[in-house]
Structure 1
Amino acid sequence: MAQKYRIYINQKVILLTETKPQNAEDYESIDAEVFDLKIVYTWVLSHKSKLFYVLCKDAKLFIKAVAKSVTLIEAAGGLVKSENDTYLFIYRNNKWDLPKGKIEKGEKVKEAAVREVEEECGIKVNKLEEKICKTYHVYILKGDIVLKKTHWFMMRSKGQYKLKPQKEEGITDVRWFNKEHITPIVKNTFPSIIDVLVKEKLIINTPVPL
């Protein structure tokens, strides 16, 4: 099965793919031979199109090469489900988001995911389940291009907790949502979060670039 990776730049997506995407006419093609994220970043932001693709022989090797070409920050977080079948979301920087944070030096990915969720929301994770996916997005930090790779896990929490947003991390709200009531989140979140929700089937029939 052909591998595909999505790199998000704000609300735009660069699809790294081994096969031409569906509805290729909706995409702008970027030549794999001359791909340089430091240059592509500015070009994509100034371009009117929101969808781009890079046709490559080995998407996994390609994303690794891209990661080596810029500053890579690895983070981990989770989608937490309560015993009442509600899901935990945070509100940060005027967007709904999922709790996540940078993996500390010497820390295992799974440990970081649980720690960040507990710190940012004031809850206890009772069970760490399967890995959902990895997401990638690009931004500027201190003048440098940064690629953030986030590892997402499914988690379970039991009991009633007084949710406590980690305000020093810019989080102003933490809430549990029923699956049927996440429309406000879908309308005001990041494309990478949509990816996580689609993977866990909280969203169905949502147009995610393939």
Structure 2
Amino acid sequence: MVLKIYFDDKPVFLCDEINSTIEAHRHHPDAIFIDEVTTPAIKSLLHEIAKPDFHSGILYSEDIEKLKKMFWKHFTIILAAGGLVKNEKGETLMIFRRGKWDLPKGKLEEGENLKSCAIREVEEETGLKNITVQHFLITTYHTYNDFGKHILKESYWYLMNASSNQKTTPQTEEDIFEITWVNKDAIGEKLRNTFPSIKDVLKTAGQ
């Protein structure tokens, strides 16, 4: 298993196997590889991430669940869910939020399951109705600081379908000011101005 956590555009991998992706990062001169994982080692890695020449980090352990717990305890964990929505033409719904092209998602509410959260967030952020979920796609992880708190957001993504023959309404209170259906030929342009985790979602869906 390999988990990839983004710190801005810099990845840190938690893994119990060395696949081709890990191997490529492992041999980069500015990557950090740790196979004797301790709390001080994790703290040291988190300190190194802030340096401009940091490329990527790899934490390797045969016990991935123990490794995950050790890493997670350095953050406040937020669960979220969202959708990659396709229409009848095969186009992908994208939103423009805070200067980046993005996909609709949001935080899990108390008593809510992940799939219901994903549908609700797509409806709230885009105004779409009659959304159907096809299947689960991928879990992405990214970190950020919120008034001094270190947050790790764990986002669960679903492939969805909805008709384009309906009005979309951007949720401006969430800083969404544009919604568009993007055909396959135009996806590349949007990828130049999006987050690496969103690129991973689109790649998983074959975009």
TM-score, L = length of structure 2:
0.89
1:28 maps to 32
Does 2:123 match 1:122?
no
Residue 169 in structure 1 maps to residue 174 in structure 2:
yes
How far off is 1:60 after superposition? Answer: 3.7
1:46 aligns with 51
Match of 2:113 in 1: 108
Q: Deviations over 1:78-105 (max 9, x none)?
A: 1000011111001111111100000111
- Which SS does the other structure have where 2:38 is aligned? helix
Matched residue SS, 1:193: helix
Which residue identity lines up with residue 5 of structure 2 in the other structure?
I
The two structures, once aligned, show a CA RMSD in angstroms of: 1.8
Q: Distance in 1 between matches of 2:70 and 2:186?
A: 40
- Deviation, 1:132, is 0.3
Q: What 5-or-longer segments of structure 2 have no aligned partner? A: none
- Whichever residue aligns with residue 22 of structure 1, its letter is E
Instruction: Quote the offset at 1:39 in angstroms.
Output: 5.6
User: Compared with structure 1, are the counterparts of its residues 42 and 169 closer, same or farther at alpha carbon in structure 2 (3 Å cutoff)?
Assistant: farther
How many pairs are equivalent? 200
In 1, the alpha carbon distance for the partners of 2:113 and 2:16 equals 31
**Does 2:109 align with 1:97?**
no
3-state DSSP of counterpart to 1:201:
coil
- Indicate the residue corresponding to 1:198 in structure 2: 203
AA partner of residue 67 (structure 2) = F
Contiguous gaps of at least 5 residues in structure 1: 203-210
Aligned to 1:79: 84
Give distance in 2, aligned partners of 1:181 and 1:146. Answer: 32
Tell me how far 1:159 sits from its aligned partner.
Answer: 4.8
Change in Cα spacing, 1:159 to 1:184, as seen in structure 2 (3 Å) is closer
- Greater Cα shift, 192-201 or 66-75: 66-75
| CA deviations over 1:134-167 (Å, ceiling 9, x no partner) | 0111111121111100000000002512211100
